[in-house]
Amino acid sequence: MRRMNDKRWMWIGIACGAVLVVGGIWIVLSASRPGLVPASDSTEVATGASIPTSTATSAAMSTRVVALTLTTPSQPLDFDADLAYLRILEQCGFGARPTGSMSNRLLGDYVRATVAAYGWSVEVQEFVYRKVAGRNIIARKGKGPVVILGAHYDTRPYADYDPPETRNQHILGANDGGSGVAVLLELARVLDMDKVPYEVRLAFFDAEDRGNLDGWPFSVGAEEYAKVLEVDPKYVIVVDMVGDESQTIYWDRNSDPELNARIWDVAAELGYARYFIPELRWRMIDDHLPFAKRGWKAIDIIDFDYPHWHTTQDTADKVSAESLGRVGRVIEVFLEGPGG
């Protein structure tokens, strides 16, 4: 990890303080309001249930947003691996974030406020699946053919790959859920739209990760978005589980081969050939599929060789800033570079 300058540390100090304040307020609110159900007790908010939000929580979060927004405003920005890692810590600070839970809802609000602070216009797509309320958050910036960058922000409600005694616990999803969102949020900060010849849509999908549980499929949120999409996207790039410390990202067999090759070429040019391995390995069921099956060029950038997948061990200490940085940098260069 490269060294950060003193000013950066100051901002990170302020940011961490804000995160602690948010956490404290959240714990107090969770304990004191009978209408709020801690994520560990329930994963669902029934359709039509009102979801209270806290002004105090929003204010503390705004402090955090402002802190990050103020970094080096007049210079061209590069994807910052350490700031991306900070986004993992933030998300874990919300606790487990399964679809329909209060922590999921609050994280959604936070994502929305963050991208808006970076100058993106934001739309929200509410949906209901099996009486559970879900919500996609779509941020747009730029002009040209549409490129969708997608990541799911929900986390798996049960650790179904844990030993039997802990299998019904939530997972924290530092990597599975957290890493894709972290990469997208840092891209929201740094993408230079004067260089990007596309309308970029950052799609934060809900309800990806309840698949094969309680009769749910995967990618409910991505399906909801794909079915109402009003344009033919040029590319759909989904980022999921990219933070593993020992990073190996292979081509997914359900992804568009041409787009796979182009992205992996960028990685090789950046010197990341050790991590982006241009060989087919897994066949992924993920948020790219609803787009791929409609004939659009869609890929999944995923490191599926992750030993803590769908376990309670998927925590922030298993995620590496450098891994997030490589993936973010590849996408940044792909979008900003000549003929991207």
Which residues form the interface with Zn ion (CB under 5 A)? 176, 209
Q: Produce one character per residue of 205-240: b if its CB has 16 or more CB atoms within 10 Å, e if not.
A: bbbbbbeeeeebebbbbbbbbbeebeeebbbbbbbb
Burial class (CB in 10 A: 0-12, 13-18, 19+), 254: middle
* Assigned token pair, 125: 């797509």
Looking at the Cβ atoms of 80 and 176, the one nearer to Zn ion is 176
Q: Which residues contact 282 (CB under 8 A, 6 or more apart)?
A: 250, 252, 253, 302, 304
Looking at the Cβ atoms of 176 and 186, the one nearer to Zn ion is 176
Q: Which residues contact 230 (CB under 8 A, 6 or more apart)?
A: none
Report in angstroms how near the CB of residue 310 gets to Zn ion at its nearest: 6
Residue 196 CA: distances (Å) to CA of 31, 155, 314, 331: 46, 31, 34, 11
Rounded Cα–Cα distance for residues 230 and 313 (Å): 39
Report in angstroms how near the CB of residue 57 gets to Zn ion at its nearest: 27
Phi, psi of 204 (to 5 degrees): -95, 105
How, if at all, do strands 199-205 and 146-152 pair?
Answer: parallel
Report in angstroms how near the CB of residue 242 gets to Zn ion at its nearest: 13
Looking at the Cβ atoms of 176 and 223, the one nearer to Zn ion is 176
Report in angstroms how near the CB of residue 84 gets to Zn ion at its nearest: 19
Q: Count other Cβ atoms within 10 Å, centred on residue 291.
A: 27
Looking at the Cβ atoms of 97 and 105, the one nearer to Zn ion is 97
Query: Quick one: which of 323, 30, 1 has its CA closest to 174?
Result: 323
Report in angstroms how near the CB of residue 153 gets to Zn ion at its nearest: 12
Rounded Cα–Cα distance for residues 88 and 85 (Å): 5
Report in angstroms how near the CB of residue 51 gets to Zn ion at its nearest: 24
Report in angstroms how near the CB of residue 156 gets to Zn ion at its nearest: 5
Looking at the Cβ atoms of 176 and 332, the one nearer to Zn ion is 176
Looking at the Cβ atoms of 300 and 332, the one nearer to Zn ion is 300
Looking at the Cβ atoms of 54 and 255, the one nearer to Zn ion is 255
